[in-house]
Chains A and B, each alone.
Chain A
Amino acid sequence: MTTTNHPAAPAARTVRRGLAPVPFLAPGMIYLILFMALPVGLLAFYTFFKRGRFGGIVFEFTLDNWVKLLEPLYVGVILQSIVLAGIVTLLALLIGYPMAYAIAGLSPKWRTVALIAVVLPFWTNFLIRTYAWILLLNNAGWVNQWLQGLGITDAPISMLYTPQAIVVGLLYMYLPLMVLPLYASLQQLDPSLREAATNLGATPWRAFRTITLPLSIPGALTGCIFVFVPAMSNFVIPELIGGGKTIMVGNLVRDQFFEARDWPFGATLALLLTILLVIVIVVQTAVSRRLTEGPRRG
């Protein structure tokens, strides 16, 4: 391409430079617009119309779907989902932090072994893993057999199909997603920071509390998001391990589309879930940045 000495040339050059990344961005952007932005937009659009009798929508404007969200039934389900996903996240953090801390302290060779062990469950089919829990937890399952065999209980305890079982299932499923980001943030911590704290007279516990812990909060928040987001919208585990007795938002969304055939309300629930999760992620990002970089401009 030849550039002539034309008055407009500099401006054109700036534009051309601004467009330079386009070939690299375009494939991904087009994919995301087609299969992410467009469907979400469609979803948002549906929430303002009436349901068709056998699914689909009738193009008559209404706010009923949003009003319906405020019914105690649905508010209850949403709150229950938040509580269950929150408990799962908290447990994952409490169990995952010591795990990640221990792995980060291993020698490089054992670190690799431990990390592979952490992600190993992901290589097994999700349904098979879930059914394995059913085998373990049901009334005639292994756990009950052991408990009775060891004389700890006389009769089987019903563990399957309870909210606790859902928590156990979700925790099992998403624990690695907590451990990995935590491990990454602990592992990249400069060991001389802890040494400096020790050198300045901090006991090991104080060094951990004032240096390691605060600097690993961004990793912990990322882990919390990685666990909370999918745990909140999972509907398979509440159905299989929870026996469908405890309904979470994910189940509700699926039921609206496939059983109640109320597409607009299903869309409203799905959109609400999306909005809630986006808010959580935005807050997490802001908090992390503030912690690591401090307030902008001092």
Chain B
Amino acid sequence: MSSAPLLRVDGVRAVYGDTVALHGVSLDIAHNEFFALLGPSGCGKTTLLRSIAGFETPAEGRIEVEGEDLLRLPAHKRPVNMMFQSYALFPHMSVEKNVAYGLEADGIGAAEVRSRVADVMDVVGLGPLAKRRPTQLSGGQRQRVALARAIVKRPKLLLLDEPLSALDRQVRASMQLELKRLQHEVGLTFVVVTHDQEEAMSMADRIAVLRDGRLEQLASPQELYAHPASRFVASFIGTANLLDGTVTAGAVEVPGFGAVIASHALAAGSPATAVVRPEDVELTADAAAAALSGTVVDTYFLGGATTISIEMPGHADPLLATVHGATRLERGARVGVRFGRATAVAREAGAGAEASAQVPPVAPEAPAPQEEVSA
């Protein structure tokens, strides 16, 4: 980020009674960025969002917007608007009144309120529904009202708490595109909280992966996918074959598979996991000629691609491989297996448990394959 950040979160620690929700999280968010806070439930992402909005008070740390200390402001004075997971529409007010609420709270004149509400309603396509009550709307329409209400004040920062979780699959897909379009159109900075990695990957410019109140990795979706910083990130983002072994020069020695070539910056001899994405597993029909081979357990046809599940001798979990289009492989077929690109992440000795994220995520020479992925 070249310019000063819009939002700076610095060492934020949050505690509920005996449980620590956030262990000193720090991150910067740039102007006009579409930023996602991603993690499983209980990872602290919602606590961080609510701390920014002013509904929670962190025990320690600073939160700044353009250098201004947010924590000193009460919630109603913060230049931040939020779209709630439940939408939190006011049931006793019409759509138009809901959208106007924030402007009226600021004491803006009736004429200006009317024109700004009308503008926003057009942007989100709600014009004809202005006089309806929230109970008379569909889920997707309610979401638009919530969105309109949150952007009408042109906040410096728009917080979205699980914005799409209440919608069914098809509406969700179109809303995703719409949110991105809107973000470009109105030029706002979006911070989305979500537990859905696909949602975060498809919308965000950068993603902060949180786990147990700690920042696990902060990177672009492409970077997270190609170079996960930990076993947890590798398994949480996309699908991955996780092959546990020991670091050697430029590879991970995996019992049963031999040396799996993987980019890494780990010390030789330390425990590590090779991360191989299903599309980087190459299959050959001639099983006998291949160094590694296995038996097809199942195939999953997904339309544009097929995922093949392969049982490997001496390995508990089946290996997943993705090929374009349909496949002629059938259950029980023998296939040769070869690993293409892979990365290695540190692993705590013994269990497949994830090591701390202290390890530098990416080796300096790494950018080359990353660009390939994003291209």
Residues of A within 8 A of B (CB): 190, 192-193, 195-204, 206-207, 210-211, 214-215, 291-294, 298
Contacts and interface: CB of A to CB of B under 8 A. Distances in A.
B105 interface: yes
B92 A291 contact: yes
B83 to A, nearest CB: 9
B331 interface: no
Contacts of A193: 88, 90
Contacts of A298: 94, 131-133, 136
B84 A201 contact: no
B149 interface: yes
B76 A292 contact: no
B133 A293 contact: yes
A200 B102 contact: yes
Q: Which of A210, A214, A215 has the most CB of B within 10 A?
A: A210
B153 A200 contact: yes
Contacts of A196: 82, 84, 88-90, 149
B118 interface: no
B92 A294 contact: yes
Contact of B149 (A200, A204, A293, A294): A200
Which 8 A-B pairs rank lowest in CB-CB distance, beginning with the nearest?
A200-B102, A294-B133, A196-B88, A192-B88, A201-B105, A202-B105, A298-B132, A198-B75
Contacts of B91: 215, 292
18 contacts: A192-B86, A193-B90, A195-B53, A196-B90, A196-B149, A197-B90, A197-B105, A199-B54, A199-B75, A200-B102, A201-B153, A202-B101, A206-B105, A292-B91, A293-B133, A294-B92, A294-B133, A298-B94
Contacts of A202: 76, 101, 105
A196 B132 CA distance: 19
Contact of B76 (A199, A291, A294): A199
Interface in B117-134: 131-133
B106 interface: yes
Contact of A199 (B82, B89, B94, B133): B82
How large, as a class, is the contact surface on chain B?
20 to 34
B88 A203 contact: no
Given A203-B76, A291-B92, 5 more contacts: A200-B81, A215-B91, A293-B133, A293-B135, A298-B133
B101 A214 contact: no
Contact of B92 (A192, A198, A207, A292): A292
Contacts of A206: 105
A144 to B, nearest CB: 48
A214 B102 CA distance: 17
Q: Which of A201, A206, A215, A293 has the most CB of B within 10 A?
A: A201
A292 B92 CA distance: 6
B81 A199 contact: yes
A195 B92 contact: no
A158 B264 CA distance: 93
A199 B153 CA distance: 11
A203 B74 CA distance: 9
A192 B105 contact: no
B307 to A, nearest CB: 39
B55 interface: yes
Contacts of A291: 92
Interface string B307-320: 00000000000000
Given A200-B149, A201-B153, A298-B131, A214 B92 contact: yes
B106 to A, nearest CB: 5
A298 B136 CA distance: 8
A73 B149 CA distance: 58
A73 to B, nearest CB: 45
A201 B135 contact: no
B116 to A, nearest CB: 13
A195 B78 CA distance: 13
Nearest to A207: B76
Given A203-B76, A215-B92, A192 B101 contact: no
Interface in B67-107: 75-78, 80-82, 84-86, 88-92, 94, 101-102, 105-106
Q: Which of A190, A206, A211, A294 has the most CB of B within 10 A?
A: A294
B55 A195 contact: yes
A211 B102 CA distance: 13
A192 B132 CA distance: 21
A50 B105 CA distance: 65
Contacts of A197: 90, 101, 105
Q: Which of A199, A210, A214 has the most CB of B within 10 A?
A: A199
Interface in B131-185: 131-133, 135-136, 149, 153
A202 B136 CA distance: 25
Contacts of A207: 76
Contacts of B53: 195, 199
Contacts of A200: 81, 101-102, 105, 149, 153
Contact of A192 (B84, B102, B106, B149): B84
Q: Which of B75, B77, B131, B149 has the most CB of A within 10 A?
A: B75
A215 B78 CA distance: 26
A172 to B, nearest CB: 33
Contacts of A199: 53-54, 75-76, 78, 80-82
A286 to B, nearest CB: 15
B37 to A, nearest CB: 17
A201 B76 contact: yes
